[in-house]
Every structure is written in structure tokens, then in C-alpha cells.
Structure 1
Amino acid sequence: MTSAPRTVRRVLPAVLLVLAATGCGEGGATEPDGSAAASCAYVVTYADHSYLDTGDTDFTVGKKLGTATVPECDDTPNDPEGAVPEGRVTAYAVEGTDPAVAIAVGDTPAEAILMKVR
């Protein structure tokens, strides 16, 4: 049985919010020159495209497309506990938008967040 697409207006799931806001390493990392070190942004890949979290919460989730990949994050190479391994998440179409432009990702349609091609 297929259910109708739902309009998603939710707060981001806690794990994804933490990844998007702080990266995958612990805060305060600096380069040898004292500048801030880069952290991992929440990026997924699907169908040879890379997508970034938009923070938008007003969109309509469409049909399930398949699986998107969350790349490994290791922005603190000298801290073996700071690495986040590669992961997988379900990719969904966004109604009215070509998947080459935007998709939604999440464990369920109700938890999906909007991602746009970078």
C-alpha cells in the first residue's frame, strides 16, 4: 500500500542537527597557525551528486528514491575517537523538484530533511 506524500515541517533530528551545526569532530580544533580547523559539513551523495543540508523545513516529501551515502568524516586525524564512519540514509524525492537539484533524506519521510545539490 502506498501512502500519499507528506508535507514536512519538523525540527531536524537531533543527530543530523549536531552534525550540521558542529561537524563531526570536537569543537575548538585549530591549525598550527592558530586558525580554526575545518569541520565536516552534513553532506550526502546520491546518483553521483553531492547535496548539502539547507535547513529548510517547508517541503513535500515524494517517493522513496533509494539510499544516499554520508561520507566518512575525520577532521581530527590525530584523534582516533573523533572519526565518524561512512553511513547510509534513505533518499526521497521532493515534490516539484528534480532529484538532480534537491532530495530529502532521513530514516522515514516524517524525519526527512531537505538537501540541495552543491
Structure 2
Amino acid sequence: MHVNYDGNRPIYQQIIEQVEYWIASNHWQQNEKVPSVRKLAENLEVNPTTIQRAYSLLEQEEILVSQRGIGKFVTDKTEKISDLRLRLIETHLTAFITQLRKLELTQNEREHIIEKIVRSANE
């Protein structure tokens, strides 16, 4: 995990996005304990308050759950993880389609590119 200190997006938002990606990609699995606030803050060289803010927002979304005195864990709710995966896929596809439109390609050209990508992904 890493953060861009010079970026336009707040660090806590970058952390949220990366934690979500790690969960969606099964790097962190259901019921798995996530790094403590202090440990992740040390690893990323950020203020622990920043990590706590990111973790708190993920808890509000029920992506992470706290177990008092033990730590924070990835949710065991399969539907939450499925929704997270779908949201991430939609975000990436929307950005991709936006870029295709900016290239001023015809509808036929865009469809051809998408078909080509899908074919190569299935190989």
C-alpha cells in the first residue's frame, strides 16, 4: 500500500480506495484482521489520525468491523464485498468509457475496441 503525498486526493481517501481494492481482490479476505492503525500509519508514514479516519469510514460502510480489544477485521458479509467489487468495476468502466468518448471515436469503433478487450481477457 502506498499514498501520493503530492496528489489532489486526500490521503485518507487514497487509503480507503486501497483498502477497498485489497478486499475486493481478496488480498485481505473475509474475517481477516487488518493492520492496526498504528502499524499502518508507521508503514505509510502518515498520522495515525488519518488511518483512523479511513478505517472509521470503512466501518460506517460495514466493510470493516471492530472487535473490542482485538482489532479491526474485514466484514464477513459476502453481499458487502460483492457490492464493493461491483462498485469498483463500475468506476473503472465508467472512466474507460469516458476516455473512449474523449478520443471522439465512433460508436462502432468504441464497440470494436471493447469487443477486442473482452476477447483477449477471455483467452
Relative to the length of structure 1, the TM-score reads 0.21
Please say which structure displays the higher CA radius of gyration. 2
User: Hey, which of these two has a bigger chunk of strand by percent?
Assistant: 1
**TM-score scaled by length of structure 2:** 0.20
